[in-house]
Structure 1
Amino acid sequence: MAVVRAHPLALLALCLLGLGAAYLFAGLGPNAGFILPLRATRLGGMLVVGASIAVATVLFQTVAQNRILTPSIMGFDALYVLMQTALVAVIGAVGFTSLPKALKFGLEVGVMITAAVLLFGTLLGRGPRDVARMILTGVILGVLFRSLSGFVARVMDPNAYSVVQSVTFASFTRIDATLLLIGGSAALAAIALAFALSRRLDVMALGRPVAVSLGLGYERLMLLVLALVALLVSVSTALVGPVAFFGLIVVGLAHALVGADRHARLLPAAALIAGIVLVGGQLIFERLIGQQSTLSVVVECVGGLVFLWLLLKGRVR
């Protein structure tokens, strides 16, 4: 039975390995020494971001007990856009583009994690309704952040606004190698901890009353899981920009493939599917259609349609 269960994950791993090799080595030509490191950085970034978003979405849905919610509902993507807009408005387009990348990355991750900790610590008490209140507050804050970003953008110089536009749309082709090393290390540590908590997450998924009756320290585990979500979402957003519905797609596919009862299978399946979607999609857009469109735009479009379909089908758990 264990061999049968291993097949989906093994097939996903082989598929991702093949796509990764094709992305790295296909059509290198005489400039392999220059192209290969560039492709390796992009490939590593896509794998880190994909796994981070997938794992964060699984964790968030487990805490929220709802399979149509994603961490973006908490307003992290809107906060990221507001930070970029505010920075450009305060220091100007030239100052923004001349900021050290490591400093900017650290600032973005630090602000988003701090905001998440303040939100979680303030709103999460010892009652089952606190998660719903936290989610509702996140939605309201997201609307507030988007409104503030829109207001600042309207009074901004057109040249400065073009800079804001260039950094507030997700891009998998402008990942910095140094930032990938820093952010990837933090993300991989968080993902490893999430895998170590798989059995506890299985108990948490049964609901608070059942989990508490089985001896699980529910509140402490919930805070730890939400902290991991905040770290993973912050790192992925700071690396490539906001991607709202990507996690919904890959986690939905993972549920369909391996089921929802065991996080030990669901987490790696979601991470592998995320890598396949990003690497395969980027391979198609770069090599087959010559960058005639942007992968993030297509992912968001498909993700939005999936969200509407789940909403209309009433797939709320």
Structure 2
Amino acid sequence: MNTFRPKKLLLLLSLFILAVLLCGLYLTYNTYGNFQFAWMLRGKKIAAFLLVALATGMATVSFQTMTQNQFLTPNILGLDSLYVLIQTLLFFSVGGVNMLVQKQTATFLISILLMALVSLLLAKLLLKRQQNDLFILLMLGMILGTLFSSTSNFLQVMMDPNEYDLLQGRLFASFSNINTVQLNWAAGIILLGSLVLFAANHYLDVLHLGSDQATNLGISLNKFQILLLFLISLLTGTATALVGPITFLGFIVANISYQLMPTYRHRYLFPTAILLGIIFLVGSQFLVEQVFQLKTTVSVVTQFIGGLYFIWKIIYERRRQK
């Protein structure tokens, strides 16, 4: 493994330089001489890019290691659908205009707390001693996601069209209106959760071998899985509450990380996924603002590219198994 270490470090350095160059291009392109104003406006978006890339990369790689499946993402637990339901309930009960006028810090923190607690409750109830409990948890997450989505659709049909139009602005991932207070809260939560996950990278390396091997090597599997699910839900929920759902981002950056960095060591996989997330988000936002002239959103670009990559991944894996 030591033979390949310089190559891994060189790859990480290359991705880091590319990410810095893209961020610099985004900050300086078409500023029309008002660099200070552009820095204030775009700098907040750059901070959001960094936080979302950090949360999504760490959470998705950890979740795929835990589930032993590279096609699954934390969204399968229904976190995106729960976020949509929370926003729909608030707009339905309070009203869209009142929601936009009021400060959203309390709503932001409540959304994160609910998404993390739902996953923690499911994990506590289902992750007992049976080997298949994790898959039951994933199935229940899909069922709850469908329930949340159906409830949201039912309420949205009953809403006033103007209220519904305002709600849609919250349900698409957007980096245009980042709240500074929410950004500070998100930074604290994401950095703390990421530090705990990175500190557990050796345990994740062992878990990569499989559940039985991890148990035989001394890991308390049930407790570790519950901790992982809580941290993954906390990171994913915070990123979703900050900018909105970004469906395929985690799938894209995690799977490209496995291809660029063919190793089981998470101390290399984590930074690779994070840097790829920054590159992808900054590049997508640059396209949205400068090429498409704000006629689309980052989530649309992500879903289009992610959907194509997902189909290619399925075809590639089927051909490889033949």
TM-score bracket for the superposition, by shorter chain length? over 0.9
Deviation per CA, 1:129-155: give whole Å up to 9, x if none: 011000000000011111101111111
Separation (CA, whole Å) in 1 of partners of 2:94 and 2:306: 35
Q: Report the equivalent of 1:204.
A: 207
Task: Trace 1:1-317 onto structure 2 (pairs within 5 A).
Answer: 1=3, 2-314=5-317
Separation (CA, whole Å) in 2 of partners of 1:54 and 1:133: 24
95-104 vs 242-251, which moves further:
95-104
Structure 1: gaps of 5 or more residues = none
220-229 vs 286-295, which moves further:
286-295
Deviation per CA, 1:156-205: give whole Å up to 9, x if none: 11111111111111112222122111101210111122111111101011
Displacement of 1:314 in angstroms is 4.5
Letter in 1 for 2:64: Q
Separation (CA, whole Å) in 2 of partners of 1:292 and 1:143: 30
8 Å Cα contact 2:247-2:302 kept in structure 1:
no
Separation (CA, whole Å) in 2 of partners of 1:149 and 1:304: 24
8 Å Cα contact 2:52-2:239 kept in structure 1:
yes
8 Å Cα contact 2:112-2:238 kept in structure 1:
yes
C-alpha RMSD of the superposition: 1.7
Aligned residues: 317
Deviation per CA, 1:56-86: give whole Å up to 9, x if none: 1111111111110001111100011111111
8 Å Cα contact 2:59-2:235 kept in structure 1:
yes
Separation (CA, whole Å) in 1 of partners of 2:190 and 2:270: 14
Separation (CA, whole Å) in 2 of partners of 1:35 and 1:56: 31
Deviation per CA, 1:198-256: give whole Å up to 9, x if none: 11101011111111111122222111111110110110000010111111011111000
Change (3 A) 1:244 1:288: closer
Separation (CA, whole Å) in 2 of partners of 1:166 and 1:36: 24
Displacement of 1:313 in angstroms is 4.5
Separation (CA, whole Å) in 2 of partners of 1:46 and 1:131: 31
Separation (CA, whole Å) in 2 of partners of 1:201 and 1:163: 42
Letter in 1 for 2:189: A
22-31 vs 129-138, which moves further:
22-31
Letter in 2 for 1:166: G
Letter in 2 for 1:174: N
Letter in 2 for 1:16: A
Displacement of 1:110 in angstroms is 1.4
Letter in 2 for 1:97: L
Displacement of 1:305 in angstroms is 2.7
8 Å Cα contact 2:56-2:249 kept in structure 1:
yes
Letter in 2 for 1:121: K
Displacement of 1:280 in angstroms is 1.7
8 Å Cα contact 2:173-2:245 kept in structure 1:
yes
Deviation per CA, 1:15-43: give whole Å up to 9, x if none: 10111111112332343332211111000
Change (3 A) 1:240 1:224: same
Separation (CA, whole Å) in 1 of partners of 2:171 and 2:292: 24
Separation (CA, whole Å) in 1 of partners of 2:140 and 2:308: 24
